[in-house]
Structure 1
Amino acid sequence: MKRLSVRLISSSKPTISSTSISGIFTQQFTTCSSSSSISESLIQNLKPCSNSNGLFSKPYKTHQFHKTPSHNYSTHVKITPYNHSEQSEIEKKRALIQEAVKAAKAAKSPEEMLEAFEKDMEDKFDKDELGAACLNIGLNLEKEGEDPQKILSFAHKSLAILDNAVKKCSFSIAMTLQILGFIYCKLRKFNDALGFLNRANKILVKLENDGNYEYGVKSVKDVLLAVQLDLVDVHIGMRSMEALDYLRKSVETKGFLKGKDSKEFGDANWEFAGACVGSQKFKDGLPYCLKALEIHLRLLGENSVEVAHDRQLLGAIYAGLEEYEKALEENWLAQKVFRICGCTEDVIDAAIDAANMLITCGRYEAAVKMLKEHEKGVEENSENPLFLMTMAKALVYQKNFADAKGCLENACRVLDKKEKSKPLEVADAYIKIADLYEKIDEVEASIFLLLRTLALLEKLPEKGHLERGALSRMGSLLLMTDKATQAMAIPYLERAVETVKESYGSKHFGVGYMYNDLGKAYLVLKRPESAAEIFVVAKDILDSSLGPHHKESINTCQNLSNAYAAMKSYPLAIEFQQKAVDAWEGHGHSAEDKLREARRLLEQLKVSARGASSKDCPEKALPLPHSSDASGGLQAPQPSSPKKSV
C-alpha cells in the first residue's frame, strides 16, 4: 500500500497527473466560433483524445495511499448539422485533421511538420477554424506521446491565430496558454511556463470577476484548476513559496467543482495541510487538516485508512504547535486504525513519528520502549534505516552511546546499498546520521559522512535544501576542530547561505537559519562585530517569516545577546537576553529548561554589567535589528569556494 510519511512532506511536492479536458475545448470553440454551423459542427466532432492523459486538467494525487480517479470532462454541447451537405463537409475536414496528425508524427522536425500543415490545410480552413484545428492536432500528438516540441509548435501557432481572431481576454486563449504552460513546465523551462500560466490565470480570474460564463461556469473552473496546479508545479520548480498560495486557491476551486462535502475536497484539504507542515506553517495547515478529517470521517468512517492518515498529519501539526499531548493522542489513534487495516508499514511510520515527539518532550525511555515494540515488524518488512536512526537518537539522549553507534552503523550499511537508486533520500539520511555522530563526539565520522553526502549531491539537479544542510553541518563541525581548520568553516557556511537564497529568495526562513549558523561561526572565531551584523540579519528574517516567538527566532535573539556581551556592550546584551527570557516564558512547560538557562544568563550579564567600566563600552555604532527590510541592508562576506578536504 502506498503511503506518505509525515516526515517526508517537506521534501515532497504534489504529484500531478494530467487528464484531458478536450470536452471543454470542444464546447468553447463551438460557442465562440463566428463562422457558419459547418464550422461549429466541425469543431464539435474534432474530439481527438477523450480518454487521453492529456494536457489540460491536472488533479494532483493527494493521499498516496489511494488513487485519485481521472476527470474525463465532457461539457460540450452537441450541434446537429443543418443538412447532409454540411455533414459531408464536416467529415472531410475531420479527415484532414487526422491526416495532419499522421503527417506531424512522421515529420522529422517541427519546421517540416508546420510546412506540411500550411501546405495541406491553411487554404481549406477559415481563420476561426484554423486555431481550433491546430490545438486539436496538438492534443492528438500529446495523446500519442509525441515530441513536446511538436506539440508546442501547434500550440504556438494556435495562440498566434487566436490572438488575432478573438478578444484578448478570451476563454479559448486561456486554454491555449495553459497547454503552453504545462508543456514548458514538463520541459523544466519554468520561466517560460510562468509567463503563459500567469496570463491564463489573469484571463480566467477576469472572466470570473466579470461573471462571464459564456462557456459554462464549470468549464471556466475546470481550466482554472488546471492552471492553478500548473502554477504550483512551476513555483515548486522555481523554489518559490508562491506554490503554497496557488495550492490554497486550488483547494477552493476543487470544492466548487466537486462539492464541499466530497471526498476529493477532503483530499485537497489534506494535501494543502501537508504542504503547510513542510513549510512550517502549522497554524495555517491546522484548519485544512481538521476539514479533511471531518469529511473523511463522515464519508469513509472512523476505521478508514484515509482517516488514519489525517490523524497522523494532525499529530504532526500539533507537534509543530508544541501541543504534544494532542499530537500523541492523534498519532495513537492513527496507529490503532493502521493495525485494524493491516497496514504494518504505516504503523511503523506512525510509531517513528510518535517516538520523535516523545524525544522532543524528553521522554526518552518511552520512545525507546515504543520503538522496541515494533522491532519485529521492521525485521519482517526489511531493514528500515529511518527506524534505526530514530532508535539511535533516543539512545543518544539516554547517553547509551555504544548501542546508538551500533544503530547508526547498521543504518549506514543499509543506506550504502541504496545510494544509486535513491540518492536524494540517502543524502538526507546521511546528514541526519552525521548530526547524531556529532552528538556522541564522533566528529571524524560525521565529517566523513558529510563529505560523502556532498559528493553524492554534486551531480543531482534537485539538491537544494540537502546541499544547504550538508554545507551548514560541515561548517559547524569544522568549528569543533583545531584552530588550524576552524577558519575553513566560513566558506562552507557562506555557500550554504547563498544556496538557500538562490532557491528560496533572501527573506525565506531557511536563509535566517543559515545566517544564524554563520554568525555563531564568527563568534567561535572571536569576531563578535561580524557575528552581531550577521545575527541582526538573521533575526529580522526569522521574526518576519516565523514570528518573534518561534524557537529559532528566540535562539537568534540569544545569539545576538552573546555577540553584544563579547563586545562588552552589556546594555544591548541585557536587552536582547531579556527578550529571549520573555519569549521562552510563553512556551510553557516544554521550554522550562531553556527558560531557566535564559534567566541564569540574564543574571550573569547584569553582574558583568555592574562590574564593567565605562571604557569597556565600544564607541562605534552597533548593528541593531529592524523590521523594515528583512535583509537588513547587511550582507555576509562574499562566499568563496569551500576546500574539498579537511
Structure 2
Amino acid sequence: MALRKRNKSVGVASKGPSESGQDNNPDLGRFLLKQARDLVSSGDNSNYNPQKALDLALRSVKAFEACTNGKPSLELVMSLHVAAAIYCSTGQYNEAIPLLEQSIDIIPAITKGHQEEHALAKFAGYMQLGDTYAMLGQLENSTKCYSTGLDIQKQVLGKNDPRVGETCRYLAEAHVQALQFDEAQKLCQLALDIHRENGAPASLEEAADRRLMGLICETKGDHESALEHLVLASMAMVANGQEGEVAGVDCSIGDAYLSLTRYDEAIFAYQKALTSLKTKKGENHPAVGSVFVRLADLYNKTGKLKEARSYCENALRIYEKPAPGIPPEEIATGLTDISAIYESMNELEQAIKLLEKALKIYSDAPGQQSTMAGIEAQMGVIYYMMGSYSESYDSFKSAVAKLRTSGERKSAFFGIALNQMGLACVQRFAINEAVELFEEAKDVLEHECGPEHPDTLGVYSNLAGTYDAMGRYDNVFGFHMHTNFISVWSNDLLRFYVNFVTGWKTRSRSWSTLCKCGRISSGQRIRMWLMRRRGWESY
C-alpha cells in the first residue's frame, strides 16, 4: 500500500477535528488515519515513533467503527490495513492477523455500487494476510491467502489482465518457497501466457517470470528448458536497458550448464557474471562471493579440489567481513553453500562450524523457522556421518519441532527429517522412539510422495528393520502387501522373511546390522531441500 509523504506541519498536536464527544465523526477517523500514514511514511526519520503511529491507527479504527454503526466502510478497511502493517513492521505479526481477518470479513456485506474497489480492497487484505503468515513461516496458510486473493482479482480484472500476471508470479514464488514446484510452474506459465495474450514486446516483467520459470525447471531437473527460459530472460533484460542486472541471470545460466555437465560453458557464464559484479558492486560484495561459491562447486565436482578450496577461501573472506548494509540472511546463505562443499570434500568439522554461524544469523531474523530447520537437519546429517549420534538427534529434534510449528508437517521434507531422526534414535538404542518416528515418516511420505518413491521405500526398509530387531514379526509380515517395499529389502531381511513365513526358525537380523544398514541417503535430499528453499530468493 503506497503511503503519502508526511507534510512538515503534520503531527499529533496538529489541528484537526475535535476528539471530545465526536467519536462518531468520520472526519476524526480520517484525520487520525492521515496522521498515522504520515508518520509511517517518515519511517526513515530518526524521530519516527512506531508506537505513536500504531496508537493513531488503532484510534482511527475505533472512530470509523463508531460512526459506521456496523455498516461496511472502505475507510475502516484501510485503517485496519495500516494498523496491521505497523504491527508487522515492529515484528508483532500475531497481533496483525485478527485485524486483517476483520478487514476481509467487512467486505462481503458491502452493498452494490462500488464492487470493483470493494473487491480489490478484499484482495489487498488477503495478500497482506498472506505476507503476514509468510513472515511467521506458516507457508500453507500464506499460499491459501494468496490463492484466494488471486481468484478475487481474476473475477474483477479478468484473467488476462497484466496485474493478474504479477499476482501469479507472486504466488508462484510462494509455492517455490514451500517446495511446491508443480503448482509454482502452473502459475508461472499462466503469467507467461498473459504476456503472450497481451501481445506486448519482451518486458522486464516477462524477464522476471522467465527467471522464475528457469529456477523451477532447474529444480525439477529439466535443465534444457531452464536454460531456454534463462537465455530469453537475459535477452529481454538487455533489450530493456538492464545490462547491469544480467549478472544474476548469467549465474543461473551457469548453474544450468553445470547441471548439464557442460563445464566449459558454465565457467564462461560464471566468469562473465564475476567480471560484471566486481565492476558494479566491488570485489568484496557478497554477490561476488556467491560466484566464487559456484566456481568452487564446479571445480569440486570435476575433481579439482585445490581450485575448489581456493574459491571457498575467497568466498569466506568476503562473508566473514561483509560490507555495511548487507542483509545478514545473504551472508548466512553463503556460509551454508560453502558448508555443503566442505561436506562433500569430507571436511565435516569445517562444514559444521559454518552451519553453526549461519544458524546464529538466521536466529535473529523473523520468518526463518523453516530455513533454520533445514540447516539444523543438515547439521544432524553431518553429526550422524561423524558418529556423534546424540548431537545428531538433538539437531533433528530441534528441526522437527520447528517444522511442526511452521505449518510444514505435511511436506516431504518433514517426512525425510523424521526418518533421519529415527535413524539417530536407532544408533542411541531408543528403539521405541525410532519406531514412532519411522511410522510418522511413512504416513507423511506415502501421502506426499506415494508408496513407490525412493524416500518412502527407504522408510519402509528402516521401519521393517526396526520391527525385525524388536521381534515384531507380525508387523514385518504385514509389509508383504507392499510389493515395491519387498523389492528394496536388503538380501538378509528378505531371507528372513522367507524363513519366517515357511516356519523356519531363523534368528532375526541383529541390532548392530540394523544400525549399519539404516538408510542415510536422504542427507543429500536435505541439502537439495535447503538449496531449493533459498534458491528462489536470488532469481
TM-score (norm 2): 0.77
Shift of 1:575: 7.2
Shift of 1:428: 2.0
Within the candidate set 122, 145, 149, 1:224 is matched to 122
The share of aligned pairs that are identical, in percent, is: 20
Is 1:314 aligned to residue 219 of structure 2? Answer: no
Within the candidate set 187, 201, 223, 1:288 is matched to 187
How far apart are the structure 2 equivalents of 1:566 and 1:393? 41
Question: What is residue 19 of structure 1 aligned with on the other side?
Answer: 2
How far apart are the structure 2 equivalents of 1:347 and 1:103? 44
How far apart are the structure 2 equivalents of 1:218 and 1:541? 42
How far apart are the structure 2 equivalents of 1:247 and 1:418? 35
Contact 2:195-2:206 within 8 A present in 1 as well = yes
How far apart are the structure 2 equivalents of 1:142 and 1:577? 66
Q: Deviations over 1:262-314 (max 9, x none)?
A: 32222221111122112122222223211211222354645433323322222
Q: Deviations over 1:241-270 (max 9, x none)?
A: 211112122223344555543322222211
Shift of 1:231: 0.6
Q: Deviations over 1:615-640 (max 9, x none)?
A: 6469xxxxxxxxxxxxxxxxxxxxxx
Is 1:275 aligned to residue 174 of structure 2? Answer: yes
How far apart are the structure 2 equivalents of 1:505 and 1:198? 22
Structure 2 vs 1, CA of residues 136 and 353 (structure 1 numbering), >3 Å: closer, same or farther?
A: same
Q: Deviations over 1:529-586 (max 9, x none)?
A: 433321222232344456556665455445435544655767866876995958xxxx
Shift of 1:601: 4.5
Question: What is residue 70 of structure 2 aligned with on the other side?
Answer: 168
Q: How many residues align?
A: 488
Question: What is residue 515 of structure 1 aligned with on the other side?
Answer: 418
Could you tell me which runs of 5 or more consecutive residues in structure 1 were left unpaired when the two chains were aligned: 1-17, 21-51, 55-97, 107-115, 583-597, 619-646
Shift of 1:442: 1.0
Instruction: State which drifts further: 570-579 or 235-244.
Output: 570-579
How far apart are the structure 1 equivalents of 2:476 and 2:119? 56
Question: What is residue 91 of structure 2 aligned with on the other side?
Answer: 188
Question: What is residue 412 of structure 1 aligned with on the other side?
Answer: 316
Question: What is residue 437 of structure 1 aligned with on the other side?
Answer: 342
Shift of 1:195: 1.1
The structure in which a higher percent of residues are helix is: 2
Is 1:606 aligned to residue 494 of structure 2? Answer: yes
Within the candidate set 12, 19, 26, 1:104 is matched to 12
Contact 2:343-2:351 within 8 A present in 1 as well = yes
Q: Deviations over 1:22-68 (max 9, x none)?
A: xxxxxxxxxxxxxxxxxxxxxxxxxxxxxx169xxxxxxxxxxxxxx
Question: What is residue 494 of structure 1 aligned with on the other side?
Answer: 397
Is 1:474 aligned to residue 379 of structure 2? Answer: yes
Structure 2 vs 1, CA of residues 306 and 561 (structure 1 numbering), >3 Å: closer, same or farther?
A: farther
Question: What is residue 142 of structure 2 aligned with on the other side?
Answer: 243
How far apart are the structure 2 equivalents of 1:462 and 1:490? 24
Q: Work out which structure has the larger RCO, using CA pairs closer than 8 Å and 6 or more positions apart in sequence.
A: 2
How far apart are the structure 2 equivalents of 1:161 and 1:304? 45
How far apart are the structure 1 equivalents of 2:431 and 2:265? 44
Contact 1:561-1:577 within 8 A present in 2 as well = no
Question: What is residue 527 of structure 2 aligned with on the other side?
Answer: none
Could you tell me which runs of 5 or more consecutive residues in structure 2 were left unpaired when the two chains were aligned: 43-47, 510-539
How far apart are the structure 2 equivalents of 1:523 and 1:614? 25
How far apart are the structure 2 equivalents of 1:539 and 1:494? 17
Instruction: State which drifts further: 247-256 or 428-437.
Output: 247-256
RMSD of the alignment, in Å? 3.8
Contact 1:297-1:307 within 8 A present in 2 as well = no
Within the candidate set 421, 434, 448, 1:531 is matched to 434
Question: What is residue 82 of structure 1 aligned with on the other side?
Answer: none
How far apart are the structure 2 equivalents of 1:143 and 1:574? 70
Tell me the amino acid that sits aligned with residue 179 of structure 2: Q
Question: What is residue 422 of structure 1 aligned with on the other side?
Answer: 327
Question: What is residue 454 of structure 1 aligned with on the other side?
Answer: 359
Contact 1:305-1:341 within 8 A present in 2 as well = yes
Tell me the amino acid that sits aligned with residue 609 of structure 1: Y
Contact 1:557-1:577 within 8 A present in 2 as well = no
Structure 2 vs 1, CA of residues 526 and 137 (structure 1 numbering), >3 Å: closer, same or farther?
A: closer
Question: What is residue 68 of structure 1 aligned with on the other side?
Answer: none
Tell me the amino acid that sits aligned with residue 19 of structure 1: A
Structure 2 vs 1, CA of residues 399 and 102 (structure 1 numbering), >3 Å: closer, same or farther?
A: closer
How far apart are the structure 1 equivalents of 2:254 and 2:53? 50
Tell me the amino acid that sits aligned with residue 407 of structure 2: Y
Tell me the amino acid that sits aligned with residue 230 of structure 1: Q
Within the candidate set 204, 213, 220, 1:305 is matched to 204
How far apart are the structure 2 equivalents of 1:579 and 1:357? 37
How far apart are the structure 2 equivalents of 1:350 and 1:604? 50
Contact 1:134-1:154 within 8 A present in 2 as well = no
Tell me the amino acid that sits aligned with residue 351 of structure 2: S
Is 1:401 aligned to residue 299 of structure 2? Answer: no
Structure 2 vs 1, CA of residues 368 and 530 (structure 1 numbering), >3 Å: closer, same or farther?
A: farther
Tell me the amino acid that sits aligned with residue 226 of structure 2: A
Question: What is residue 204 of structure 1 aligned with on the other side?
Answer: 107
How far apart are the structure 2 equivalents of 1:175 and 1:142? 10
Question: What is residue 275 of structure 2 aligned with on the other side?
Answer: 379
Q: Deviations over 1:483-534 (max 9, x none)?
A: xx43232222212222333333644555334323212322344555433321
How far apart are the structure 2 equivalents of 1:258 and 1:580? 51
Tell me the amino acid that sits aligned with residue 134 of structure 1: G
Q: Deviations over 1:153-206 (max 9, x none)?
A: 444444445445434252254444333333323332222211121122112134
Contact 1:178-1:196 within 8 A present in 2 as well = yes
The secondary structure found in structure 2 opposite 1:381 is helix
How far apart are the structure 1 equivalents of 2:187 and 2:106? 28
Contact 1:500-1:511 within 8 A present in 2 as well = yes
Shift of 1:402: 2.9
Within the candidate set 104, 113, 132, 1:234 is matched to 132
